[in-house]
Amino acid sequence: MAQYDIHNIEERLQAIDPRIVRIDFNHARERHEIIARDNYGDEYIAFTVPWGQLDARAERELYRIRPERMNPFEEVRRAEERKQRAEDKKIHDMATDLVENIQSSFRHKPSRSIE
């Protein structure tokens, strides 16, 4: 069991991905290092988790980065949708400001009297 692993995250991560070997705690950097083994048997740091955050968030992170479950086209599509929503909101805000400026200019103009 990994140091400070009170939620048995090490076992849960190993159940998701059998390449996970162990969880080490790096005292110098105050973070948990999730160690995995590649196809050649070499160990590497799969990802890190800040101290005090070794919980279900680490499990969600593994689901997010696991290549077998990742669909790069889906990631690109979501990024494009976020970008499009931001652009639409910007255009909507600009149009709203323009309408408000026009309306306020008509409301505040003094009427001219013809003599």
Q: Return the percentage of the chain with pLDDT > 70, whole number.
A: 78
- What average pLDDT does the segment 87-112 reach? 85
Distance CA 74, CA 67 (A): 13
For the whole model, what pTM was predicted? Answer: 0.49
User: What is the average pLDDT across 58-81?
Assistant: 71
Q: How many distinct helices (H) and strands (E) make up the chain?
A: 3, 3
pLDDT at residue 2 is higher than 70: no
Partnered with residue 25 across adjacent β-strands are 32
Per-residue pLDDT, 90: 95
Determine the pLDDT at residue 64: 67
